[in-house]
Structures are given as structure tokens and as C-alpha cells.
């Protein structure tokens, strides 16, 4: 990523400081503190809130301004603020619901790409102050979430379509001409706004810079060294969960439906079970899930979004300890059983995500190949006391287990009724204390991906670093088309290239024909044994 030159950084910081009557301070390049990244990893589950004045139109948030006519732009900037009046906005209700759902931090769009500020800024008239509502939405929201123990966070776009429009520049994203680093006036504007936010609302735990954050994140860390900067400083995949576990802090940003802001046209929501599965998979791979909602113009959450948060709330009320303060286990999953491990403890959680619903009163016998019990091991189903099955006085639903050569055998009953019809469809979680890994997982990495123009194929090279206790594993590569997608966005499923068997560590390769010039692809390596698939890194290749 291209870095802002030091002279421009100093000029922008000085301009911002003077614009607010403050004495300039030296710009010091910093980074996220290691202890704060560990804190961030403990949180596990965040709430993203995309809200902007164009929710009144039900349009894509901000992006409708790109390519728009002069008349559209004039009406967007001058007329839309006159009708934005979210009179039903009650942030206390949002905060209570988020807390029930197990949310540990919130990230609110203080300013999206449109440039409209959801706080009464001194830097522009294009803000909430100049609407019929007038009140400080950002401040009220942050205070409400803080009262309920939810860490405050802000989204901020360095791109600013209002500034580009006012300065007669063509609106666009991700090209050098519109970036703050190439527009000293825009950089000064952004720095002044970031300074306002970080001096107005007290400690901010999380900052999400959706764009080039150079200069801005350095100012943020200087003003608030404890702030965790996510996008522009750590990996923040958008609308997908990466294939492999990662021992570094990262965050998956995912919508409940297809849209970020309120967009009723063509919206298609994921059901509660899909969202719970995304949360489980993200935590099993060591990341945080930042789940998005988009409030309506009147300030209420759409009922579909509230319903899904309440379904999450019930599941998290039972199983939250398996999500918070968790880290990856030696494997992410064994088919439909996924894992997390308690941080700094030898407790493992097994999420049973089988396609067929585990019915109340039903015994299940499971074999966990990656988990080994010890003499101190105890196993129980989270949320239930393993003593009583309602209305069945003679049934004792006690979980039992036994270590066998082929794995840990567990016999357990689902005994807690969570809905009237006994049809609660979501995963059951087993808690296994004093557990050890049964065998290590294979390790694989991708080394290179190159286009051979003469042969018209892509040559992929990977390395199998360890077999993980197996006699042999299958290795190979997967790819997907990412042409035209944003840096953090993914849509297509992975396609698997033919695999080969390896019984010793070492390099392997494959020549992939049939991929098209002029398109961009993402590749990753794969190792597969009878237990699981393990992936190693991603490389993006644009075929010329």
C-alpha cells in the first residue's frame, strides 16, 4: 500500500491543528499495541451500524453519488438533509438488544463516503446539525452503548464525495486522483474531523478507516494510543470468512442481508442459523465477526434485523462463553463439528452444526478425532445441568465420554427446551475441560502463482510443511474470480483444482489452464486428510 509522504503528513497535521486553534504536535508513526490487539481478539463479536441520510431513498449507501448528474448531486447535498428526521431513534434500545445478543463492541458510521457527518462537526455544514433532527446521533449512540458495557467504535471514510463535489473533482473511489494523500485540502479536512471525533467523545476503542488510512491512523494513535485501528491496519475481509485459521487479529465484516445501509429493494436476509454459523466459523478461525445492521430513516431497526439479533441473543445467552475470550483449536472443524479453545486454558468447545436438527430428548453419540481426554476431563452440554429432561422424571440426561483409539466418544442428550414447539434449530455446544490435541493438523502454504502467457496457463507452487500425524495427505490449490470486486469483497465460491497425494513434506505444483486474460483471480493452497481441509495463504493474480 502506498504510504503518505512525510512532508505531506506534516503539512496535513499542521493544517488540521491550526484549523481548530490547537498548537501543532509532532506526527509520530505508530501501530496497534500488542496488548490491545489481544483485547480485541477476546471480544469476538461486534455490531456494525451503517446509517446515512440517503437511507431515506433506500439506495446503496453513498455510492449512488458516483457517476451522478449535477442535478442529482445538488439535490443530494442540498435537499436530502432537509428531510432527514429519525424521530424514533432510541439508542438505548439498540444497546440493550446488542448486549443481549452478546455484542462486545460497536462500530458506527460517523462519516461514510458521502461526506455527511453524523455528528455536529465544525468542518462542514453537511452534517446532522443542519437537519430537522439536529441532535448529536453519534454522541447519543456511543454513550448508550458505553452504559451497557459495549466498547465504542467508529467508522470513518477518508474518501469524501461532498469535498470532491465542492472542489469540482470527479467522484470516484480507489484511484490516486481522489485520495487524501494526493489532495492536501482533503487530507486536512479528514484530519480535522478525526481530531474532533477523538477529542469530543472520550476513549474510542475501535476505529475503522474505510480507505487509505495513512496519516489518519497515525493521528489517531497519537491522540489515543489504546485505540485499535482495524481496516487499514489489520485484515478485514468483507462479506466472506477466510479459509484458514489465523493467529493474528482479523475481522470479518458481514451484512445480515445483501446491503450495508437500509435498502428494502431486492433485500434478501440470511436466517438466524446462517448468522450463528458465520459467528462460529469466524471464531473457529481466530477472527471477530462484525455483523452489520442498517437502520431505517425514522431511526428504528428493520424488524427482520431485530428478529435475527434476538435469535442470536438466545443462542449467545446459552453459549456465549464458547465465543468470547476464545482462540482457534488445533483444527477448525471435523466436518459439521466446529471448535474453539478457551484462551489460556485447556478447555475446548465443540459446536455441533449438523444439518439435521438435534431434537430435545434425543441422545447423540459423537466421535471427536482431534480431541483427547485426560483423567481430569469433564464434558457437558452448555446451558443445561444434565440432570433433568422436562416432563420425563425417569430420564437422566447425563453426558458420558470415553477415550478410544479412534477418538473421544461422547454420548449426550439435548435436554434444555428453548422454544414452545421443541424445534429450536441452532447448534448445540459441548464443553470439554482439560483436553489435549489428539494429533497436530497438516500445515500448508502457497508460494507463488504466475501466468505463463506462452502456454496460456497459471503455474501454482505450494509447500506441504507437515503432514500432521497422517500417513499421507492430498494437496493442491483452489481459486475464485474476484474481477471488479473491492479490495475486501468476495462473492464467488472457491473452485478446487485436481489434487495429488503426498506422503512426505515438500514442494508441489499444478498448471491450471482455462483461466481468462483480463480477469483477476485469488488462489490458495489446500491440504486434505480424512479429518479436515487446511488452507495456506492467498495470492491475487491479474492475468494480463
Residue 281 phi/psi, 5-degree rounding, is -65, -40
Taking only the tens place, the pLDDT of each residue in 445-501 is 999 999 999 999 999 999 999 998 788 999 999 999 999 887 777 878 899 999 999
**What pLDDT does 468 receive?**
84
CB contact at 8 A, 460 and 508: no
The DSSP bridge pattern shows strands 473-481 and 428-432 to be unpaired
**What pLDDT does 341 receive?**
98
Q: Mapping DSSP to helix (H, G, I), strand (E, B) and coil, where does residue 228 land?
A: strand
CB contact at 8 A, 263 and 294: yes
Grid cell listed for 262: 437500509
Could you tell me which residues come within 8 angstroms of residue 346 by beta carbon, excluding any fewer than 6 positions away?
A: 433, 434, 435, 436
**What pLDDT does 412 receive?**
98
**Dihedral angle sign, alpha carbons of residues 112, 118, 122, 126:** positive
**What pLDDT does 136 receive?**
98
Distance CA 487, CA 298 (A): 32
Grid cell listed for 279: 459467528
For 84-133, give the DSSP string.
Answer: ---TT--HHHHHHHHHHTT--EEEEEEE-TT--BSS--SS-SSBGGGSSS
Residues (pLDDT < 50) of the chain are 1-27, 29
CB contact at 8 A, 345 and 329: no
Distance CA 11, CA 16 (A): 9
The residue with cell 481530531 is 195
CB contact at 8 A, 497 and 526: no
Distance CA 222, CA 214 (A): 13
Amino acid at each position: 500500500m502506498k504510504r503518505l509522504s512525510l512532508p505531506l503528513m506534516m503539512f496535513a497535521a499542521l493544517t488540521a491543528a491550526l484549523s481548530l486553534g490547537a498548537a501543532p504536535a509532532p506526527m509520530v508513526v505508530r501501530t496497534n499495541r500488542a496488548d490491545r490487539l489481544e483485547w480485541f481478539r477476546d471480544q469476538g463479536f461486534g455490531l456494525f451500524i451503517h446509517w446515512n441520510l440517503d437511507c431515506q431513498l433506500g439506495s446503496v449507501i453513498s455510492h449512488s453519488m458516483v457517476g451522478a448528474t449535477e442535478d442529482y448531486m445538488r439535490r443530494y447535498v442540498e435537499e436530502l438533509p432537509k428531510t432527514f428526521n429519525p424521530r424514533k431513534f432510541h439508542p438505548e434500545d439498540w444497546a440493550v438488544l446488542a448486549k443481549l445478543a452478546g455484542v462486545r463492541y460497536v462500530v458506527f458510521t460517523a462519516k461514510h463516503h458521502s461526506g455527511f457527518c453524523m455528528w455536529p462537526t465544525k468542518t462542514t455544514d453537511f452534517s446532522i446539525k443542519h437537519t430537522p433532527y439536529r441532535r448529536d446521533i453519534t454522541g447519543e449512540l456511543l454513550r448508550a452503548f458505553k452504559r451497557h458495557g459495549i466498547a465504542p467504535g467508529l467508522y470513518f471514510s477518508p474518501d469524501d464525495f461532498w469535498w470532491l463535489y465542492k472542489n469540482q473533482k470527479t467522484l470516484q473511489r480507489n484511484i490516486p486522483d481522489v485520495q487524501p494523500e494526493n489532495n492536501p485540502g482533503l487530507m486536512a479536512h479528514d484530519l480535522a474531523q478525526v481530531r474532533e471525533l477523538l477529542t469530543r467523545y472520550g476513549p474510542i476503542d475501535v476505529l475503522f478507516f474505510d480507505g487509505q488510512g495513512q496519516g489518519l491512523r497515525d493521528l489517531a494513535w497519537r491522540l489515543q494510543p489504546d485505540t485499535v485501528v482495524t481496516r487499514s491496519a489489520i485484515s478485514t475481509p468483507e462479506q466472506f470468512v477466510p479459509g484458514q485459521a489465523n493467529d493474528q487479529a482479523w475481522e470479518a465484516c458481514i451484512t445480515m442481508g445483501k446491503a450495508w445501509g437500509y435498502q428494502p429493494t431486492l433485500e434478501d436476509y440470511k436466517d438466524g442459523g446462517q448468522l450463528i454459523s458465520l459467528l462460529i466459523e469466524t471464531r473457529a478461525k481466530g477472527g471477530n465477526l462484525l455483523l452489520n445492521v442498517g437502520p431505517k430513516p425514522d431511526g428504528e431497526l428493520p424488524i427482520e434485523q431485530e428478529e435475527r439479533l434476538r435469535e442470536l441473543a438466545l443462542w449467545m445467552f446459552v453459549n456465549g462463553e464458547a465465543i468470547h475470550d476464545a482462540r482457534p483449536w488445533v483444527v477448525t472443524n471435523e466436518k459439521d463439528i466446529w471448535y474453539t479453545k478457551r484462551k489460556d486454558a485447556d478447555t475446548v468447545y465443540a459446536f455441533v452444526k449438523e444439518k439435521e436438527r438435534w431434537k430435545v430428548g434425543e441422545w447423540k453419540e459423537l466421535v471427536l478425532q482431534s480431541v483427547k481426554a485426560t483423567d481430569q476431563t469433564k464434558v457437558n452440554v452448555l446451558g443445561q445441568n444434565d440432570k433433568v429432561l422436562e416432563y420425563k422424571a425417569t430420564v437422566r440426561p447425563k453426558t458420558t465420554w470415553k477415550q478410544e483409539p479412534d477418538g473421544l466418544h461422547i454420548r449426550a442428550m439435548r435436554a434444555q427446551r428453548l422454544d414452545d414447539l421443541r424445534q429450536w434449530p441452532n447448534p448445540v455446544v459441548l464443553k470439554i475441560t482439560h483436553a489435549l490435541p489428539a494429533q497436530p493438523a497438516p500445515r500448508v502454504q502457497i508460494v507463488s502463482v504466475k501466468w505463463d502467457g506462452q502456454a496460456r496457463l497459471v503455474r501454482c507452487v505450494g509447500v506441504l510443511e507437515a503432514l500432521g500425524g497422517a500417513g499421507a495427505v492430498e494437496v493442491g490449490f483452489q481459486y475464485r474470480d474476484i474481477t471488479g470486486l473491492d479490495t475486501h469483497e468476495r462473492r464467488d465460491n472457491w473452485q478446487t483444482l485436481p489434487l495429488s497425494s503426498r506422503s512426505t513434506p515438500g514442494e508441489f505444483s499444478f498448471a491450471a489452464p482455462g483461466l481468462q486474460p483480463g480477469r483477476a483471480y485469488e488462489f490458495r493452497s489446500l491440504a486434505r486428510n480424512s479429518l479436515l481441509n487446511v488452507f495456506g495463504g492467498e495470492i491475487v493474480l491479474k492475468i494480463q
